[in-house]
Chain A
Amino acid sequence: MSNPLKKIRILFVDDEINNLHAFKAAFRFDYDITVAQSASEAETWLEQNEVDLILCDQRMPGKTGVEFFSSILKKHPKPIRILVTGYTDIESVIKAINLGHVFRYINKPWNEAEIRSSIEEAYRYYTQSHQLESKVTELTRAYNALDGFAYSVSHDLKGPLMSIMGAINIVNNSPDKNQKNVSLMLELIEKAAVHLNEFIENMHVYYRNNRGELKIEPVNLEDLKSELLSIHGITCHQQNISLTINCENTTEFFRTDVTKLKVVINNLVSNALKYQRAGEVNKYVDVQMRVIDENLIIHVKDNGMGIPDEYLQNIFELFFRATTEVSGSGFGLYNVKEIVTTLGGKINVESKLNSGSTFTVNLPCK
């Protein structure tokens, strides 16, 4: 709407064909003009088209201008309505203005300058009220997100602290500071602290992704591969999971925000390692990365616990968690999805309960 290069779109309704011609002749260079010879013709046209402003003559056979405006108000509330009328109709004009059906009226016979200034003023009002409307929607959404955020953050930050305090209390009340209790509780305290730290780091990623600017660099898939192996190698070894990483077309040029890309892959791989199935003998995580037609395609596949169908649509939501079996913050996949979107890409998941999941990321070259 606020595009300055775009002409204001105006619909002019009058039963006298000469008036339509005169109007079109006077303003067609400055505005995008459509004319209609009756209320019903205008209504039909409005079904298919959008317009910023409607000017309508009051005295017409069939529907009057005021009647026409009040009849389209529900279906087309957005365009600004201006009535063109003589003094004799003043009663109905006042009523129409008071009911909010008409933005203003122009006296007949009209002159070009008056019409021009009315149109400009109406359009300014039109754009401002629409900007305001979309700002309000945007802000409402932000507030709702903030509410949910504050609630969950207070739980996720406070939760581990309360665990720590509970454990300390038990140690303190242990008669003779029972050594077994002390070391057990210390272990719990450490776990809670690690969890808290993870949560704070994820929150940091969340925040940075919401503000930060992109830093576009060339990607070296081989470097990425060796980094992944060095980060996750120990976990794989400890938990007996085989991690394979394949890169194809590594010489193809690809650019994106490398730091953000790493957050995405690391999250997907550590999820795949985390949500393994206890009974599985040959646990594996398989990563494929290749550049095709200036797109980087990443598959992260595992044979872990999988995701129940009913939760598939929710897994990218902030603070959503689909299982109690493994601890998580509900931040990971939300961050992944946000970053992928920021980078202009897409993420998909295919999953079967008790047989594994495959996440596919498709990123365009920046």
Chain B
Amino acid sequence: MAYHFIIIDDNKIDLLVAFKAIEMSHIEHGDIHQFQSGTDALAFIKTYKPKQKVIMLVDIQMPVMNGFQFMDEFEALPAKTKKLFHCMFLTSSSNDIDRLRAQKYPSIKSFLNKPFTSEVVAGIIKNLPA
């Protein structure tokens, strides 16, 4: 099954790195949407009607709306919308407090550390529930 991807990261470099890593992982994938802010991503998600499941990678430290604030908004969306997404934090933070805080969000399925590589992509796909 092919997945769509949404990547949210304020850093353009990391967006591109993630994009390339997905492309080069040889997994079958659908669209790859990239957003530099949580606000833009939310606006998109609210009208998004994907045919397949979506893997969403969210950076934590971002200006204006950080990853946690983004997930607060996301968790408030209707359950019907939320169940289309597998959400994960993707961060350079190795901070335990961030990790603990991430557990508060039912929609967050994993906590990934950067760098994001093709191996990580393969690992995500392998571990997803069918």
Interfacial residues, chain A to chain B (CB-CB below 8 A): 151-152, 154-155, 158-163, 165-167, 169-170, 173-174, 181, 184-185, 188, 191-192, 320-325, 327, 330
Contacts and interface: CB of A to CB of B under 8 A. Distances in A.
Contact of B36 (A167, A174, A191, A324): A324
Interface stretch (B42-50, B58-66, B77-85): B58-66
Interface in B8-53: 10-14, 16-18, 20-21, 24, 36-37
B114 A188 contact: no
A216 B124 CA distance: 59
A322 B63 contact: yes
Contacts of B21: 166, 169-170
Contacts of B14: 159, 162-163, 166
B127 interface: no
Interface string B80-124: 000000000000111100000000000000000111111000000
A207 B70 CA distance: 33
10 contacts: A155-B92, A162-B14, A162-B113, A166-B114, A169-B115, A169-B117, A170-B21, A173-B117, A181-B20, A327-B12
Contact of B114 (A162, A191, A324, A325): A162
B93 A155 contact: yes
Which 5 residue pairs of A and B lie closest in terms of their CB atoms, listed nearest first? A321-B63, A166-B115, A162-B114, A166-B17, A165-B115
Contacts of A159: 11, 14, 61, 92, 114
A173 B21 CA distance: 9
Nearest to B93: A155
Contacts of B63: 320-324, 330
B24 A174 contact: yes
The listed residue with most A CB atoms (<10 A of its CB), out of B20, B21, B62, B117, is: B20
Contacts of A322: 63-64
Contacts of B92: 155, 158-159, 161-162
A173 B118 contact: yes
A309 B21 CA distance: 39
Nearest to B23: A170
Among A155, A166, A184, residue most surrounded by chain B Cβ atoms (within 10 Å): A166
Nearest to A188: B13
Given A154-B93, A166-B116, 20 more contacts: A152-B61, A155-B92, A158-B94, A159-B11, A162-B14, A162-B115, A163-B17, A163-B114, A163-B115, A166-B17, A166-B18, A167-B17, A169-B115, A170-B17, A170-B21, A170-B118, A173-B117, A192-B13, A320-B63, A324-B64
B35 to A, nearest CB: 9
Given A155-B61, A166-B114, A188-B17, A324 B10 contact: yes
Nearest to A181: B20
Given A151-B95, A162-B92, A167 B13 contact: yes
- Among B13, B37, B62, chain A packs the most CB atoms within 10 A around the CB of B13
A181 to B, nearest CB: 7
Contacts of A161: 92
Contacts of A154: 93-95
A163 B24 contact: no
A351 B57 CA distance: 35
Contacts of B95: 151, 154
B103 to A, nearest CB: 18
Nearest to A169: B117
Contacts of A151: 95
A274 B36 CA distance: 18
Most B C-beta atoms less than 10 A away, residue of A152, A167, A170, A181: A170
Contacts of A170: 17, 20-21, 24, 117-118
A324 to B, nearest CB: 4
